[in-house]
Structure 1
């Protein structure tokens, strides 16, 4: 089976390796961000507000540091807004987080807004206009929704009959005006264009099951991940008007040729970013490159 190696993209500077990585993301502009604390959160202990450091590594290697004050979640999602601020969200809601599940910070790390988007966040990704896309997992099957940075619901997916039940947003790709998703249970490929009121969502039938990330370039698509032995699968396909037609299947590896093990994945346009444990480096596969 053909192997494709990730290309190194960004690395956490060694000076910060002594801190605990709460989470990490690659934003819509290709900048990698790490949310760091002094130590790992203690399971079963109520979270008290704490400060954290965001280390941002730009594609040219420039490093930027931002202190965020009074975070209130143990298991956060993170992304950056185009104005330099950050969004931090709790993946699970608790009573003490009602109304402040999502915290919005300005470029100086000061909290400016809070709101809630619903329990069971699988993905939280900011697009190039500053809109926040949230995909939920099956403990709260809200599907896929788009929010403003001030908590206004902009768009919500309708459960189109041809898409089946959108119960769990397995893969979400957010970059420019088009958002792509591949949800459980039927795993259709959804092409979402919310600014087209006549047809905001196009559904393509798809036989590639269980992918955790998707990349699209022109008429081609790549799916990464799957169930069981297909965990490291990289499946290529072509887009037709109504379906996804598989063409070849291989494996996606780390730059050194090994398989990732535990990892984070992010889909952005033609790119799939992968970060393997200990979560201090990002690699990239570019379908367009």
Structure 2
């Protein structure tokens, strides 16, 4: 079985590792971001809101710090806007918290607006135009939606004809295009909301349970799966109406050990993987 090794991408500077990592991501331009708090959140513990620090490391290794005031969630999703601001969203939300679920901060860390996108966020990714793509999991099976940074609904999967869209297992946002691989049927889905003709294209797919997907031309890679397939990497080719598998392998960390708990982010041809203790991002690039 072929083994692919993650290439080191970004590291949280050691001077910030004493803080707790609330969450981390890689934005559409390849910059890694860590949202840090003084200590780990406890259910029913510390009062909200809290101040937090975003540490950003760009592909050249340059470090930028942004202090966010009054973050109102203990279990956040994070991404950066093209203008330097940030989006922080509560992945789970109670009804009385809906109006403030998503907080949008400017480049100076000041909150400028808030709105709701719905409970059970699986993925939150910002595209190059500053639109916020949200994929939901099955405790709120409303599919995939795209929002403006001001809270306007731009696109919804409600009438898109995506089969078996019950849980957005994998979501990839690159440029202004989104790719998805949703449960229960796991089709490969391309979404181009700006295209007037066929904004959504769907290919049948036999790979089940992938947590991330990468696309480069007619080539595709699916990462993850159920049980013993959690480190699986399946290569495929888009042919007509389906994806045909061309090989199955494993994706491992640079030190040649399989990742345990991890975060994954899909961006075009790239799959970024971050394993515990969540201080380092590695990358697999389908285009190389």
- Do 1:159 and 1:165's aligned partners in 2 also have CA atoms closer than 8 Å? no
Match of 1:116 in 2: 116
Aligned residue runs from structure 1 range 214-253, under 5 A = 214-253=213-252
> What 5-or-longer segments of structure 2 have no aligned partner?
none
**Structure 1 residue 46: Cα displacement:** 6.8
1:32 aligns with 2:2: no
TM-score, reference length from structure 2: 0.98
Aligned residue runs from structure 1 range 195-210, under 5 A = 195-210=194-209
Match of 1:52 in 2: 52
Aligned residue runs from structure 1 range 184-203, under 5 A = 184-203=183-202
In 2, Cα distance between equivalents of 1:118 and 1:158: 14
Q: Which secondary structure does the structure 2 equivalent of 1:83 belong to?
A: coil
In 1, Cα distance between equivalents of 2:47 and 2:127: 29
Aligned residue runs from structure 1 range 1-289, under 5 A = 1-45=1-45, 47-161=47-161, 163-289=162-288
Q: Which secondary structure does the structure 1 equivalent of 2:182 belong to?
A: strand
In 1, Cα distance between equivalents of 2:88 and 2:180: 22
Alpha carbon RMSD of aligned pairs, Å? 1.0
> What 5-or-longer segments of structure 1 have no aligned partner?
none
In 2, Cα distance between equivalents of 1:46 and 1:134: 28
**Structure 1 residue 97: Cα displacement:** 1.6
- Do 1:173 and 1:269's aligned partners in 2 also have CA atoms closer than 8 Å? yes
**Structure 1 residue 44: Cα displacement:** 3.1
- Do 1:56 and 1:63's aligned partners in 2 also have CA atoms closer than 8 Å? yes
**Structure 1 residue 178: Cα displacement:** 1.9
- Do 2:32 and 2:56's aligned partners in 1 also have CA atoms closer than 8 Å? yes
Cα distance per residue 1:167-206 (max 9 Å; x no partner): 0000000011321000000000001111112211111000
Cα distance per residue 1:146-171 (max 9 Å; x no partner): 0000000000013555x322100000
Cα distance per residue 1:73-115 (max 9 Å; x no partner): 0100000000000000000112442211000000000000100
Q: Which secondary structure does the structure 2 equivalent of 1:99 belong to?
A: helix
Distance 1:42 1:160, change over 3 A: same
In 1, Cα distance between equivalents of 2:45 and 2:65: 28
Aligned length: 288
In 2, Cα distance between equivalents of 1:210 and 1:160: 22
- Do 2:164 and 2:186's aligned partners in 1 also have CA atoms closer than 8 Å? no
In 1, Cα distance between equivalents of 2:138 and 2:4: 31
